Structure 1
Amino acid sequence: MKSSFVVPTDLDPVQRHPKAAKAGERMRMHNPMCFGCGEESPNGLRLEMFAGEEFTVDAAMRVQTQFEGGPGVIHGGVLSTAFDDVMGMVPLLVGPSAVTVHLEVDYIKPIPVETTLQFRASLLGRQRRKIYTEGIAHYGDPTQPVAVAHGIFVTINAREHFADHLENSQLSDEYKRRLSRP
């Protein structure tokens, strides 16, 4: 099932960032309008994510009927969005913000609407700016996944990375105000 996802063998040592959420604490959202975790995203997933032990992130998602793809089951794109967001929190445990450069999802079983999925994302390793992650989705037993994902995220300077796109944000005035602070 795997495609080109390979974790290198020459990984950098990692340690939990001193400002990272502690195990059991809720992690901060990417931004208020983030479709995955944003509290102000009107139609978003509104995922609440919690730091786990070591380098893991946990989340739960109610599969609402509006997320339907095939009859009675989740749309694959919605599931991949949830994986992208949960795995995208892992870099915050070891350092600065990061963006997705590779995401692959293996859909193992159909996931009915009106169920609750549990997610766990884990750090597989870091090599310079690249952060390798794995995610699983299950109904409560992580040994029985219904989907598995792998991703590569690259650390960025968020101010520089998003500078040319702030005008497009629904919160552009807020971001401009934040950036004008010393």
Structure 2
Amino acid sequence: MSTSFSIPDVSDPMSRHPKAPAPGEPFRLHHNLCHGCGDDAPGGLHVTVYAGEGFATTAEMTVEKWMMGGPGVIHGGVLTAAFDEVLGTTPLIIGTPVVTGHLQVDFRKPIPIGTTLHFNAEVVAKERRKVFVRATAHLGDPTEIVASASAIFIEIDLKEHFGKYADSASLSRP
């Protein structure tokens, strides 16, 4: 099934969740073994996502040698997984846990191993259970975009969606 990223003409009302981190503060981990953000995930991406102003977030990830695709640059699938982590965390700023429905990445420039990749993301609309998020990535200069992504996420009930796979303690986080 192919889906295009088309922002709805009218968004459902959105507000920043009262339990969202303050601007500049990191989001809590999904869990310690999360491939995207977990501190204890062997071979994980170790992406750190920070709350921004309004419905925005920023994030950082060190591009490590094991992430190599072409000689000396990040693998496109690793970059896509990093975008999925950043984009999927961003809806928590409005208090909405989500799963990925559609993710599109545009690769603009090679991203060298050994650099720090910076992300800027924002929830741009919500329509019923769909949450529309966009992000860009750069290597320190926000005007030099190396990749961008857009995604549609689907709002879920954590216990209903993951209940048969996880223990209740891991499902209690907002």
TM above 0.5, one fold?
Answer: yes
Number of aligned positions between the proteins: 170
Work out whether residues 31 and 170 of structure 2, in 8 Å CA contact, stay in contact via their aligned partners in 1: no
Give 4+ residue runs of structure 1 displaced > 6 Å after superposition. none
Work out whether residues 117 and 139 of structure 2, in 8 Å CA contact, stay in contact via their aligned partners in 1: yes
Residues 75-134 of structure 1: per-residue CA shift (max 9 Å, x gap): 001101110001111110112311111100000011111111111111111111111000
How far apart, in 2, do the equivalents of 1:97 and 1:176 lie? 16
Work out whether residues 135 and 150 of structure 1, in 8 Å CA contact, stay in contact via their aligned partners in 2: yes
Per-residue deviation at 1:165?
2.2
What amino acid sits opposite 2:30 in the alignment?
H
The verdict on how the C-alpha distance between 1:177 and 1:118 changes in structure 2, with shifts beyond 3 A counting, is: closer
Per-residue deviation at 1:176?
4.7
| Corresponding residue of 2:126 | 126
SS at match of 2:164: helix
Per-residue deviation at 1:13?
1.4
Q: Does residue 76 of structure 2 align to residue 76 of structure 1?
A: yes
How far apart, in 2, do the equivalents of 1:98 and 1:125 lie? 14
Residues 41-92 of structure 1: per-residue CA shift (max 9 Å, x gap): 1110111111011111111111111000011110001101110001111110
Q: Does residue 27 of structure 2 align to residue 27 of structure 1?
A: yes
Per-residue deviation at 1:140?
1.6
| Corresponding residue of 2:97 | 97
Per-residue deviation at 1:178?
6.0
The verdict on how the C-alpha distance between 1:66 and 1:87 changes in structure 2, with shifts beyond 3 A counting, is: same
Structure 2 unaligned blocks of 5 or more: none
Identity %: 48
How far apart, in 2, do the equivalents of 1:110 and 1:49 lie? 22
RMSD: 1.6
Structure 1 unaligned blocks of 5 or more: 167-174
Larger radius of gyration: 1
How far apart, in 2, do the equivalents of 1:141 and 1:176 lie? 42
| Corresponding residue of 2:14 | 14
How far apart, in 1, do the equivalents of 2:52 and 2:151 lie? 18
TM-score (norm 2): 0.92
